[in-house]
């Protein structure tokens, strides 16, 4: 239930304004009563000269009465006007705060679709409201990711568990022979479960990456050569041509070699596994001002435009149906790439013109000189 704007904050604001008005009115009256008569007498003497005691007393009494009457009327009128204005201001301030409180209560109750109208005046309250709405959108995305994760986990677990269950029952009933082929199938299913557990363990560590970087200066070409050499066996098994083109322009980056190597490995693994036999995967480097670019491009499956903004989200997979084969992965590899690159003060983005057109991933890292002011900031 929405709280009335007059409750709580509005009343406290009005009470605070009333205290200010009362203090101001009291100060005005005290100063006027103390200073007014003496000033009045000095002006009368200057204008009329010496007066008798009775005349001076009569003038003082008339002045004090007029002063108190005018002050009383003026203070009362000013107080009424000020309180009316204060009430309007209090309502204006309290209304968006009340809406924020109601919105927070709805989000706490699980309604992540809640959004609060932004006040028309672009002030601090409007900024807080916009930040609140961004927070609500982030929570909504997180909840969607959580639900997708549960669905993906159920999907990932179902196939290997069904395989294990079927073969174990078959072995127990004597229907399936305990031969090497059977054990290989069981080992493959167990391996898939183990890889899923490993992915989940890595996911829990992704946010802690920036705190443990072992930085050293290295050329982009050396990073690429190491990554390509490590990925060649997989490319050969898949029948994919893997090659690199390292620019000769001088540059170095300040990087954790193992971490950046892991990021490149994930991109190459992703590119190779989503390329058909006979396909090409190329790794290139380039210099763009104070930035170094590492590019992994393939001519494989490609990514739909609707999926591109989400490919670095945790456990997101462009093809939710791809899961019967572990090549589809659990959707953590690209999340790790993004976390590693951001920890180095860089960025990574994906480009594709759609299905069947290939994909291009670009890692942008600051040069060694620029990186010293970015990493850890």
pLDDT in tens, 262-294: 899 989 998 998 888 999 999 999 888 888 999
Residue 173 confidence (pLDDT) above 60: yes
**pLDDT recorded at residue 58:** 75
CB 315 within 8 A of CB 252: no
How much is the average pLDDT of 127-143?
87
pLDDT surpassing 60 at residue 29 = yes
Two structure tokens written together for 372: 């010293």
CB 44 within 8 A of CB 59: yes
305 versus 9: the higher-pLDDT residue is: 305
- Residue 311 pLDDT more than 90? no
pLDDT score for 320: 44
Residue 242's SS3 state is: strand
Question: Closest Cα to residue 233, out of 268, 283, 192, 184?
Answer: 268
- Residue 240 CB: number of other CB atoms within 10 A? 25
Give pLDDT tens digits for 53-73. Answer: 777 777 777 777 787 788 788
Residue 329 has pLDDT above 60, yes or no: no
Neighbours of 124 (CB within 10 A): 9
Pairing mode of beta strands 241-245, 280-288: parallel
Measured CA to CA, the distance from residue 220 to residue 286 in angstroms comes to 9
Phi-psi region of 347 (alpha: psi -120 to 50; beta: other; left: phi over 0): beta
Residues in CB range of 125: below 8 A, 6 or more apart:
93, 96, 97, 119
Query: Cα(294)–Cα(191) distance, rounded to whole angstroms?
Result: 32
Question: pLDDT-derived band of residue 5, with 50, 70 and 90 as boundaries?
Answer: very low
Q: How far apart are CA 251 and CA 287, in angstroms?
A: 8
Give the span between the Cα atoms of 64 and 66, in whole angstroms: 5
User: For the residues 176-182, what does the mean pLDDT come to?
Assistant: 85
Percent of residues, the chain, with pLDDT higher than 90: 10
pLDDT digits (tens, 9 = 90+) for 226-266: 999 999 998 999 999 999 887 666 678 888 888 899 899 98
Question: So what's the pLDDT on residue 333?
Answer: 79
| DSSP strands (E only) in the chain | 216-218, 241-245, 253-255, 280-288, 291-298, 347-351, 359-366
Q: How far is CA 304 from CA 267, 268, 318, 331, in A?
A: 18, 19, 8, 16
Q: 72-119, pLDDT tens digit by residue?
A: 887 788 778 877 877 777 777 777 778 888 888 888 888 888 888 888
CA-nearest of 251, 289, 212, 254 to 372 is 254
How far is the C-alpha of 59 from the C-alpha of 170, rounded, in Å? 119
Residue 367 DSSP one-character state: B
3-class state of residue 59 by DSSP: helix
Residue 357 sits at φ, ψ, to 5 deg, of -110, 0
Does the pTM surpass 0.85? The reply is: no
Q: How much is the mean pLDDT over the chain?
A: 79
Q: Tell me what pLDDT residue 281 has.
A: 93
**What pLDDT is recorded for position 75?**
78
Structure tokens at 30: 């005290």
For the chain, the first-to-last Cα distance in angstroms comes to 43
Confidence of residue 145 (pLDDT cuts 50, 70, 90): confident
């Amino acid at each position: 239930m929405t709280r009335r704007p007059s409750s709580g904050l509005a009343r406290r604001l009005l009470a605070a304004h009333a205290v200010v008005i009362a203090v101001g009115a009291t100060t005005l009256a005290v100063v006027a009563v103390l200073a007014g008569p003496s000033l009045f007498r000095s002006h009368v003497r200057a204008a009329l000269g010496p007066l008798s005691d009775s005349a001076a007393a009569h003038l003082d009494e008339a002045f004090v009465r007029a002063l108190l009457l005018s002050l009383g009327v003026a203070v009362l009128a000013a107080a009424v006007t000020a309180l009316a204005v204060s009430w309007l201001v209090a309502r204006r301030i309290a209304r968006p705060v009340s809406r924020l409180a109601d919105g927070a209560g709805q989000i706490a109750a699980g309604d992540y679709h809640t959004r609060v109208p932004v006040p028309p005046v672009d002030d601090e309250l409007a900024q807080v409201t916009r930040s609140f709405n961004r927070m609500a959108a982030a929570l909504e995305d997180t909840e969607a990711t959580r639900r997708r994760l549960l669905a993906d986990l159920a999907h990932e677990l179902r196939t290997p568990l069904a395989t294990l269950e079927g073969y174990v029952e078959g072995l127990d009933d004597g229907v399936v022979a305990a031969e090497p082929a059977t054990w290989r199938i069981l080992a493959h299913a167990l391996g898939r479960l183990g890889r899923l557990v490993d992915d989940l363990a890595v996911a829990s560590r992704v946010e802690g990456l920036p705190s443990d970087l072992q930085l050293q200066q290295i050329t982009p070409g050396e990073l690429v050569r190491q990554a390509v050499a490590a990925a060649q066996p997989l490319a050969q098994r898949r029948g994919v041509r893997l090659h690199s083109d390292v620019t000769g322009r001088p540059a170095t980056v300040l990087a954790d070699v193992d971490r950046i190597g892991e990021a490149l490995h994930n991109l190459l693994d992703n590119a190779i596994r989503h390329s058909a036999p006979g396909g090409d995967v190329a790794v290139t480097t380039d210099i763009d001002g104070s930035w170094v670019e590492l590019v992994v491009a393939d001519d494989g499956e490609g990514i739909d435009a609707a999926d591109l903004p989400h490919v670095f989200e945790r456990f997101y997979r462009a093809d939710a149906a791809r899961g019967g084969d572990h090549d589809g992965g659990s959707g953590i590899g690209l999340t790790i790439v993004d976390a590693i690159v951001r920890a180095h003060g860089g960025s990574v983005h994906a480009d594709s013109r759609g299905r069947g057109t290939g994909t291009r991933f670009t890692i942008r890292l600051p040069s060694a000189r620029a990186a010293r002011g970015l990493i850890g900031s």
